Structure 1
Amino acid sequence: MRRDELLDAAEELLSDLGSTALTLSAVADRAGVSKGGLLYHFATKDALIKAMVERLIEEFDDLVAAQPDATYTERYLGATLVAVREGKLRRWAVVTGASGNTYLLAPLREAMARWHREGLDDEPDPVASQIVRLACEGLWDLASHDPELNGDEALGALDARMRALLKPPS
């Protein structure tokens, strides 16, 4: 079994049963592998959680990079909307909620700092860019708790309004 399949099984377990259900035995059972097969990839529960957090960061970085050429904030906004529309943000709440260990969440804190500082000085209006990035954070949080709140029409309106904020004043 591949590493990503094990991480998928752990995320599904967290989503279905909560953080108290996340044990190596339960993940192995969910993935349909022996505990030894799981231990080959993840020697501890902490290693498993850290790998889930790192994968989420990498996936979001990939979403940002895949956006059309634009300012960093426009790409960040586009990536956020893709993640919301595809239901990827629910995993953020589940995985980050699985760890009470601040060491395991350190990569996420570092990524968040990077995402919120990246290219800010190169933006036409750094304050508007910061507002849009913070609004994306709110959208992430809401989408992780109530994915049905904003349908395509509402997300389109939010996208248009936030992009309008990013236009330099005339």
Structure 2
Amino acid sequence: MKKDALLDAAEAVLSEHGTQALTLTAVADRAGVSKGGLLYHFSTKEALVKALVTRVIEEFDDLIAELDDGTPGSYSRAYVEATFKVFTDGARTYRRWSAITAAATDPELAAPLNEAMARWHRRDPAEDRDPVAGMIVRLAAEGLWEVMSHSPELYGEAELAALRERLLALLER
């Protein structure tokens, strides 16, 4: 069994049953492998959670890189676009983010996510036409992540589209 399938199984356990249910046995059962098969790839629950966090960071970095064309303000635009892409690309992508956020409550396990947050938010101010607007927009997107992780049904498709448009417009002023 491939690591990604095991990580998918862990995400499903987290998303459906919460962090208390995340055990190596539950993940192995969900993946349809023996616990030994899971341990071959992830020797501890902490190693599994770390791999989940790492995968999320890499996927978001890849989205940003795909959308960032290098022009002034493009990083902040890409950050907004990547955020909304996650929210509108279906339950699987959103499930991944909400599950990892819930799982990364241990400070040691959350460290890679905290480092990525600092990298995502500590950009060169000269990259944005209006550096403060860039900070505000990225922080607003971050707040949306927090809200959506607790109440994913709060905003519908039209509301998310309106939020996206307004955040992008703030970057163009």
User: TM-score w.r.t. structure 1 length?
Assistant: 0.92
Aligned to 1:85: 88
Q: Does 1:101 align with 2:106?
A: yes
8 Å CA contact 1:6–1:38 kept in 2: the answer is yes
TM-align CA RMSD: 1.5
Q: TM-score, normalised to structure 2's length? A: 0.90
Kept in 2, the 8 Å contact 1:90–1:145? The answer is: no
Return the alpha-carbon distance in structure 2 between the equivalents of residues 159 and 96 of structure 1. 22
Long gaps (5+) in structure 1:
none
Question: In the aligned structure 2, how far is the partner of 1:9 from the partner of 1:28?
Answer: 8
1:158 CA drift (Å):
1.2
How far did residue 68 of structure 1 move?
A: 5.5
Q: Which amino acid aligns with 2:20?
A: T
Is 1:114 aligned to 2:89, yes or no? no
1:124 Cα shift? 0.7
For these two proteins, the number of residue pairs brought into alignment is 168
Q: Point out where structure 2 has 5 or more consecutive residues left out of the alignment.
A: none
Aligned pairs for 1:126-141 (under 5 A) are 126-141=131-146
State the identity as a percent: 57
Query: Which residue of structure 2 aligns with residue 76 of structure 1?
Result: 79
SS across alignment from 1:66: helix
Letter in 1 for 2:75: Y
Mapped partners of 2:25, 2:125: distance in 1:
44
8 A contact 2:14–2:22 mirrored in 1:
yes
Q: Specify the alignment match of 1:12 in structure 2.
A: 12
Q: For residue 163 of structure 1, what is the aligned residue in structure 2?
A: 168
Change (3 A) 1:132 1:99: closer
Deviation, 1:74, is 0.3
